[in-house]
Every structure is written in structure tokens, then in C-alpha cells.
DNA sequence: ACCTGAACACCGTTCAAGT
DNA sequence: ACCTGAACACCGTTCAAGT
């Protein structure tokens, strides 16, 4: 009589996410996850083919929490895009250690496809079509991916900014002045401000 | 009588870059670099404290080739920003394997600081100041970082786009239609188009 | 001082064996 | 069928020894 499986893929992903949240992505290993679920290392290979598949389950778990329903259609379209962008940013912000995994596996996440479907719908409402709409979606993705990374790998308020403020003003006049203003901009304002630039530019005429 | 050093840090970085270009970032190891320079693994530790420092030398080597001189001031400012952005994009594009390293070590590169100094100067010419200029620089960085990554970790013309085109049109009407247009946009047009959106939005009025 | 090789504590993964 | 433990081919890095 076959013994029943004692683990679900979701439990496995959850254990891996726990390891990442606790010890960072560098702490993620098959051995560490096995210990977390109380099994031998090799038992994991009953549930996943390899580490790559384990990582895929982790990002499915994380991105699965992203709401992909369209915001209320009477909301102005730039606000609707901002709502969609913040849903991703908030989820990822809760698990900064998975950022590199999301970058690497993002094109295999159906949840992100569904998110994109909703976003393209909003861009269509904004009057975009054809090539402009393709470029609109792609530059939104690029901005969100890049901004999330800058935020978690060298935030505006972190030691990097202090190092910039300490630059010799004779050699870096603009950067040392900019660093002073940077302290007055928090992460939310920075993300929202950059996104607003992008959205304005997507529907304005060429100068 | 002390033996002279047989290696310069530049040679070490160049050997590591050769390994990355040849076998990808996954192929980079202290042992592989040692073999490339014809020394024992442990000899490398005469030149760097650890692997992290070796990686720093690699990105210094790569980014050191980025021209940070301001473009001709009679060029319209959006074109000047585009020139600056393309200088980074071109250099990185020649060594796609180092993209994750640049992301991780970018805040320790003085060359990138100098690049930023020039960019902030151009933004100032465009009439930006204070918080707007901080946000302008940061969203440019976010866009460039994100766009370079999307380009090298799932290009518009790659298998990912085909998978999107194959989505069921009933469930993903917008995405399957978008995939058709996506094939007509090459990587250069995509990068330039997204950047143009951002630059237009940075100096246009709120709607 | 420069360089080497053995050794240690880690990886992911294969394979044969136990229930 | 589910799970285990030894083993293999890798890592980065410490340490003692050779010239």
C-alpha cells in the first residue's frame, strides 16, 4: 500500500520562502528547506525536479498574492496604472529577498501575464494602440523592475546616498547638491514620481 | 629578495571577464579564474580579499569603458540624455553576463557616479531642479537598469513573446493582440521609445 | 613576499538501499 | 510509492608549508 504524500507543493514553497525571509536568498539551499520541512534533503526531489523548479514555486506563491482585477473604471487611467503598479511593489516589498528570483523567473509566471493583461486594458482606455501600446507596457515593466531593485539594493535613504553627499563638491557639484534634496524624498514619493513621469510622457505629444 | 608580483589587478579582472563572457556568470569561480591566469586558486587571494572584491574589479573594468564626457551642448537635451543612456547600454550589451554584477555593485562604481554627474547637469539644462531633478535622475536609473535586464533576461523577440502570442485569446485578448505588434518592435526601438516617454513626462505639465 | 596544496564546511544532484 | 544516507563533483576560504 503506497504511503500518502506528506507534503504539498504549496507547503514546500512556503518553507522555502520562510528560509529566504529569515536568512536571505543566500541562505536558500535544498538542505535548508529540507530541514525546515523536517525531511531529508533528497525527499524534496519527490516534489520538484531541481532547485530551479523550487524557485519557480516560490515566485508563484509570492506573485499569486497579486490582485489582477481591474480597478474601478471611473478612476482616471493614470491612477489605475498606479494602483496596478503598487500591488506588485507592495507584494515584493514584503519579501525583498525574492527580488532576484522574480527577475529570473518572471516570464514563467501566469499571474504576471494576467496582471499585464489588465494593464494593457488600461493603456487601451488611455488611447494607446499598436506599437505605442507595446512600448508602453514594456517601459512600465522596465521601470517597475528597475525601481523595485534600486529600492531594495541601494535605497535613496541608504549609505549610498550618504557617500554621494560626501563627494567633493568641486568634482561633483551637481551630485553633492542633488544628495541634499534626495534626503527629502522618501521611497514612496520617488516611485510614484517616476511613474508619473512615465505616464505623462506616454500620452503627451512630441515637443 | 621579494619576488615581483606577476599579475596586475586589471589582468585579474580581465581574466574573470573572459570567463564570464565564455561560460556565463554561473561559470565564474575562483578556480576558473585561477586556471585562466595559470596560477593556483589560492594565489588570487594575494590580489583580492575575496570573491566580492574580484567582482568589483570586473565591473570597474566594464564600466570604466563608459564615456562620461558631456555631449555637445548645442544638442537638444533629450538627445543628450539618450546618448548618455546608450553609452551604458552599449557597454553592458557587449557583456550581458555581468548584468547581475552591475546591479549588485553599481553603487560602488565611481565611474557611474561621474556618469550621473553629467546626466544631472543635462537635467539642469532641461530646467529641472530640487526634488524634480532627484526624481528625474532616479527614474532614469530605474528605467535603464530595468530595460537592460528585460532585454537580456527575456527579450521582446525571444521565446517569452511567442508564449504570449500562443495564449488563449478569449482569456488574454489584449496580450495576444499585443504580441502581434511586439514582433514589429526591435530592442533598439523599444529602449528608445520607453526612454522618450520618460523624458517627455519629466518636463510636461500635469494633465 | 609570492605562491602552492591539503583540508574544511558548504553546495546540487545521482544512485542504491530501506520501509 | 515514499523517504533516507552515502557518495560525487563542485564551491569559497583557512591554514601550514615551500621558495
Q: For the segment B78-100, what is each residue's pLDDT rounded down to a tens digit?
A: 999 999 999 999 999 999 999 99
How high does pLDDT run on average in chain B? 91
Domain that holds residue B44: 9-63
Q: Which residues of B touch A114 (CB under 8 A)?
A: 172
- H helices present in chain A, as ranges: 9-23, 30-37, 51-63, 77-93, 99-105, 110-125, 130-152, 159-165, 173-182, 187-203
CA distance A174 to B20: 35
Cell (9 digits) for B205: 505639465
pLDDT score at A152:
84
pLDDT score at B183:
87
Nearest by CB to B181, which of A104, A131, A201?
A131
Cα dist. B99→A102, A163, B64, B152 in Å? 15, 23, 15, 8
CA distance A11 to B191: 40
- Indicate yes or no: strand C within 7 A of the C-beta of B42: yes
pLDDT score at B65:
96
Output Rg (C-alpha) for chain B, integer angstroms.
21
pLDDT score at B23:
94
Cα dist. A129→A75, A121, B174 in Å? 20, 10, 10
Q: Greatest CA separation found in chain B?
A: 79
pLDDT score at B161:
67
pLDDT score at A167:
82
* Protein-contacted bases of chain C (C-beta within 7 A): 1-6, 10-16, 19
Task: Categorize the per-residue pLDDT at A153 as very low, low, confident or very high, splitting at 50, 70 and 90.
Answer: confident
Chain A residue at shortest CA distance from B160: A107
Q: Which residues of A touch B107 (CB under 8 A)?
A: 153-154, 160, 163
Q: How far is the CA of A25 from the C1' of C19 (A)?
A: 35
Q: How far is the CA of B33 from the C1' of D13 (A)?
A: 15
If asked whether residues A41 and A135 sit together in one domain, one would say no
For residues B43, B49, B50, B55, the Cα torsion angle rounded to the nearest 10 degrees is: -100
pLDDT score at B160:
63
Question: Would you call B113 and A164 a contact, using CB atoms and an 8 Å cutoff?
Answer: yes
Question: Would you call B134 and A182 a contact, using CB atoms and an 8 Å cutoff?
Answer: yes
If asked whether residues B101 and B168 sit together in one domain, one would say yes
Q: How far is the CA of B19 from the C1' of C3 (A)?
A: 22
How large is the angle between the packed helices B130-152 and A187-203, nearest 10 degrees? 80
Report whether pLDDT(B173) > 70: yes
pLDDT score at A156:
42
CA distance A61 to A88: 13
If asked whether residues A57 and A86 sit together in one domain, one would say no
End-to-end, the C-alpha distance of chain B in Å comes to 75
CA distance B102 to A153: 11
Spatial CA neighbour of A58 closest among A87, A99, A90, A88 = A99
Q: Which residues of A touch B198 (CB under 8 A)?
A: 139, 143, 197-198, 201
CA distance A199 to A162: 30
Task: Find the mean pLDDT for residues A61-90.
Answer: 97
For D3, nearest residue by CA–C1' is: A43
Chain centroid to Cα A105, Å, comes to: 11
Which single residue is written with the C-alpha cell 615581483?
Answer: B4
For residues A170, A174, A177, A179, the Cα torsion angle rounded to the nearest 10 degrees is: -110
Cell (9 digits) for A73: 473604471
Question: Would you call A120 and B174 a contact, using CB atoms and an 8 Å cutoff?
Answer: yes
CATH of the domain at A57: 1.10.10.60
Task: Categorize the per-residue pLDDT at A164 as very low, low, confident or very high, splitting at 50, 70 and 90.
Answer: confident
CA distance A184 to A178: 10
Task: Categorize the per-residue pLDDT at B207 as very low, low, confident or very high, splitting at 50, 70 and 90.
Answer: very low
Spatial CA neighbour of A79 closest among A89, A68, A71, A87 = A71
Q: For A138-149, how does the pLDDT look when each residue is reduced to its tens digit (9 = 90+)? A: 999 999 999 999
- Min CA distance, B205 vs chain A (Å)? 8
Task: Categorize the per-residue pLDDT at A159 as very low, low, confident or very high, splitting at 50, 70 and 90.
Answer: low
Q: Which residues of B touch A104 (CB under 8 A)?
A: 153
Q: Which residues of A touch B189 (CB under 8 A)?
A: 131, 135
- Indicate yes or no: strand C within 7 A of the C-beta of B11: no
Instruction: Assess contact for A79 and A126: CB atoms under 8 A.
Output: no
CA distance B31 to B40: 8
Assess if residue B70 is contained within a domain: no
Task: Categorize the per-residue pLDDT at B204 as very low, low, confident or very high, splitting at 50, 70 and 90.
Answer: confident
Residue A31 has φ and ψ, to the nearest 5°, of -65, -40
Nearest by CB to A167, which of B100, B113, B207?
B113
CATH of the domain at A126: 1.10.357.10
What DSSP state is assigned to residue A156? Answer: T
Report whether pLDDT(B206) > 50: no
Q: How far is the CA of A42 from the C1' of D8 (A)?
A: 15
Cα dist. A35→A16, A30, A32, A50, A68 in Å? 10, 9, 5, 17, 34
Spatial CA neighbour of B147 closest among B117, B188, B179 = B188
If asked whether residues A58 and A84 sit together in one domain, one would say no
Q: What percent of chain B has pLDDT over 70?
A: 93
Task: Find the mean pLDDT for residues A101-120.
Answer: 92
Cell (9 digits) for B87: 553609452
Task: Find the mean pLDDT for residues A61-82.
Answer: 97
If asked whether residues B131 and B187 sit together in one domain, one would say yes
Task: Find the mean pLDDT for residues A161-173.
Answer: 83
- Min CA distance, B58 vs chain A (Å)? 19
Report whether pLDDT(A205) > 70: no
Judge if pTM exceeds 0.85: yes
Assess if residue A4 is contained within a domain: no
Assess if residue B2 is contained within a domain: no
Domain end position, chosen among B40, B63, B86: B63
Assess if residue B72 is contained within a domain: no
Q: What DSSP string runs through A83-123? A: HHHHHHHHHHHT-GGGHHHHHHHGGG-HHHHHHHHHHHHHH
If asked whether residues A164 and A86 sit together in one domain, one would say yes
pLDDT score at A181:
87
Report whether pLDDT(B185) > 70: yes
Assess if residue A70 is contained within a domain: no
The least confident of A22-31, A96-105, B13-22, B115-124 is A96-105
Domain count, chain A: 2
Assess if residue A1 is contained within a domain: no
The least confident of A70-74, A97-101, B57-61, B180-184 is B180-184
Q: How far is the CA of A68 from the C1' of C7 (A)?
A: 53
Q: How far is the CA of B3 from the C1' of D18 (A)?
A: 14
Assess if residue B14 is contained within a domain: yes
If asked whether residues B113 and B193 sit together in one domain, one would say yes
Nearest by CB to A175, which of B104, B113, B167?
B113
pLDDT score at A207:
43
If asked whether residues A54 and A90 sit together in one domain, one would say no
Q: What percent of chain A has pLDDT over 70?
A: 93
CA distance A59 to B193: 30
Task: Categorize the per-residue pLDDT at B2 as very low, low, confident or very high, splitting at 50, 70 and 90.
Answer: low
If asked whether residues B105 and B172 sit together in one domain, one would say yes
Task: Categorize the per-residue pLDDT at B159 as very low, low, confident or very high, splitting at 50, 70 and 90.
Answer: low
CA distance B101 to B99: 5
Report whether pLDDT(B106) > 90: no
Question: Would you call B134 and A181 a contact, using CB atoms and an 8 Å cutoff?
Answer: yes
pLDDT score at B165:
76
If asked whether residues B104 and B188 sit together in one domain, one would say yes
If asked whether residues A37 and A91 sit together in one domain, one would say no
Q: For B35-68, how does the pLDDT look when each residue is reduced to its tens digit (9 = 90+)? A: 999 999 999 999 999 999 999 999 999 999 999 9
pLDDT score at B205:
57
pLDDT score at B164:
78
If asked whether residues B99 and B23 sit together in one domain, one would say no
Chain A residue at shortest CA distance from B133: A178
Residues 6+ apart with CB under 8 A from B27: B19, B20
Assess if residue A85 is contained within a domain: yes
Which single residue is written with the C-alpha cell 534533503?
Answer: A41
Amino acid at each position: 500500500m503506497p504511503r500518502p504524500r506528506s507534503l504539498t507543493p504549496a507547503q514546500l514553497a512556503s518553507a522555502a520562502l520562510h528560509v529566504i525571509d529569515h536568512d536571505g536568498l543566500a541562505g536558500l539551499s535544498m538542505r535548508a528547506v529540507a530541514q525546515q520541512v523536517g525531511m531529508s534533503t533528497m525527499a524534496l526531489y519527490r516534489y520538484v525536479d531541481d532547485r530551479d523548479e523550487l524557485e519557480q514555486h516560490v515566485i508563484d506563491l509570492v506573485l499569486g498574492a497579486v490582485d489582477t482585477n481591474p480597478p474601478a473604471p471611473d478612476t482616471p487611467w493614470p491612477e489605475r496604472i498606479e494602483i496596478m503598479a503598487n500591488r506588485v511593489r507592495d507584494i515584493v516589498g514584503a519579501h525583498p529577498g525574492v527580488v532576484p528570483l522574480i527577475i529570473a523567473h518572471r516570464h514563467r509566471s501566469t499571474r504576471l501575464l494576467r496582471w499585464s493583461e489588465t494593464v494593457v486594458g488600461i493603456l487601451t482606455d488611455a488611447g494607446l494602440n499598436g506599437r505605442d501600446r507595446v512600448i508602453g507596457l514594456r517601459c512600465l515593466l522596465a521601470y517597475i523592475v528597475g525601481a523595485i531593485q534600486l529600492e531594495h539594493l541601494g535605497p535613496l535613504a541608504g549609505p549610498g546616498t550618504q557617500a554621494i553627499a560626501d563627494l567633493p563638491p568641486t568634482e561633483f557639484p551637481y551630485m553633492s547638491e542633488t544628495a541634499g534634496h534626495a534626503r527629502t524624498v522618501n521611497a514612496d514619493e520617488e516611485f510614484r514620481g517616476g511613474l508619473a513621469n512615465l505616464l505623462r510622457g506616454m500620452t503627451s505629444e512630441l515637443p
